[in-house]
Amino acid sequence: MTEHHRWEPYIPARTRLRVIEASCCEAFILAYEEGDFFVWRHAAAGRFEQTARGPYRLAFLAWMALITTHPKHNREVTPEHLATAPQA
Ligand SMILES: [Zn+2]
């Protein structure tokens, strides 16, 4: 399976990041910023990471790969979700 989600440091653009879809516990956010789509995540205290910026199709592939391996992605918050959720 092709790796669609290499994480790199998130460098904020001047425009506001727009959330398209968030995973159940907000571990992964499908986002849009300045004409590019990518998956965004909270990596560690105050640090954020993103997948490569690009067209929706590529960001969506990364999103699907992450979401399908995410434990029990559904509307319910379980202990597994909390274990993988970003730490505030
Ligand atoms: Zn979750």
- How far away, in angstroms, is 35 Cα from ligand 1 center? 27
49 burial class (0-12, 13-18, 19+ CB within 10 angstroms)? middle
Q: How far apart are CA 48 and CA 60, in angstroms?
A: 19
Give yes or no for a contact between 9 and 56, defined as CB atoms under 8 angstroms apart.
no
Query: What is the amino acid identity at position 80?
Result: E
pLDDT at 72: 62
List the chain domain ranges: 8-84
pLDDT at 51: 95
pLDDT at 1: 44
**Ranges of the chain with pLDDT below 70:** 1-4, 72-88
- How far away, in angstroms, is 1 Cα from ligand 1 center? 22
- How far away, in angstroms, is 74 Cα from ligand 1 center? 7
- How far away, in angstroms, is 38 Cα from ligand 1 center? 18
Q: How far apart are CA 21 and CA 57, in angstroms?
A: 14
pLDDT at 24: 82
- How far away, in angstroms, is 63 Cα from ligand 1 center? 13
